[in-house]
């Protein structure tokens, strides 16, 4: 695991990205440090035990961060929240890769009559997928800064100060208000009846 670098609170993510693209290695380290803890919280519990034989959550996040930092020059970070969205997708893709690798490895299990069924009810699966789609669509309807604040707080468990630092807000209270508005908007959209 790489050494954790404490990010400079006054630098916005966009400023750090600009410096990193100019070759500033410390700016790259600050970006990685800023998002590492949040990505670890986001990935925690998402790597299934079957895929944890050779890698763990830290490995998944480290790989996603390294790959993203290597491609930083090609990522459009002009829209607030775009880097976080890219990192979130990178972590999910890395988890999918690990699941795929785990499925390709032979499983050694002993068959008995006592094995419980692990399959979900098909109706339950469809309802869960529909709810997830509605949730993702409601996130896409948020303003970019609200979307990033929402994801950082709700999905990644970031503190309000971490959100303020990442989004260039003046205080943790300003970040809290941004998150609160985003939560209200998502809640209102999810309460609306689904469109047929």
Give the closest residue to 39 by CA, choosing from 70, 83, 74, 72.
Answer: 83
Q: CB under 8 Å to 174, separation ≥6 — which residues?
A: 164
Q: What are phi and psi of 2, to 5 degrees?
A: -70, 155
pTM: 0.55
* 89-139 confidence digits (pLDDT tens): 898 888 888 878 777 766 656 656 665 656 666 656 656 778 888 888 888
Average pLDDT, the chain: 80
Record the tokens describing residue 75, joined without a space. Answer: 């990522």
pLDDT band at 4 (very low <50, low <70, confident <90, very high): very low
Distance of CA 62 to the CA centre of its chain: 13
* 141-155 confidence digits (pLDDT tens): 999 889 889 988 888
pLDDT band at 7 (very low <50, low <70, confident <90, very high): very low
Distance from C-alpha of 93 to C-alpha of 112, rounded to nearest angstrom:
34
Topology adopted by domain 122-191: Arc Repressor Mutant, subunit A (1.10.10)
- The CATH number of the domain covering residues in 1-106: 1.10.1740.10
- Residue 47, Cβ neighbours under 10 Å: how many? 22
Is it true that 1-106 and 122-191 share their CATH fold?
no
* 159-195 confidence digits (pLDDT tens): 999 888 888 899 999 999 999 999 999 999 988 887 6
Domain ranges of the chain: 1-106, 122-191
């Amino acid at each position: 695991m790489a050494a954790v670098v404490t990010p400079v609170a006054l630098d916005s993510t966009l400023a750090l990205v600009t410096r990193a693209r100019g070759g500033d290695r410390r700016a790259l380290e600050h970006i990685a440090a800023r998002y590492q803890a949040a990505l670890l919280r986001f990935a925690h519990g998402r790597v299934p035990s079957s895929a944890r034989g050779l890698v763990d959550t830290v490995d998944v996040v480290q790989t996603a961060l390294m790959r993203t930092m290597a491609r930083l020059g090609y990522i459009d970070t002009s829209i607030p929240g775009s880097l976080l969205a890219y990192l979130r997708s990178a972590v999910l893709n890395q988890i999918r890769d690990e699941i795929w690798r785990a499925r390709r490895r032979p499983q050694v299990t002993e068959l008995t009559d006592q094995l419980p069924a692990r399959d979900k009810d098909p109706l339950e699966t469809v309802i869960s997928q529909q709810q997830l789609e509605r949730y993702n669509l409601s996130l896409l309807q948020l303003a970019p800064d609200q979307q990033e604040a929402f994801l950082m707080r709700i999905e990644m468990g970031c503190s309000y100060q971490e959100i303020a630092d990442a989004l260039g807000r003046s205080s943790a209270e300003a970040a809290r208000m941004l998150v609160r508005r985003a939560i209200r908007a998502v809640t209102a959209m999810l309460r609306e009846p689904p469109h047929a």
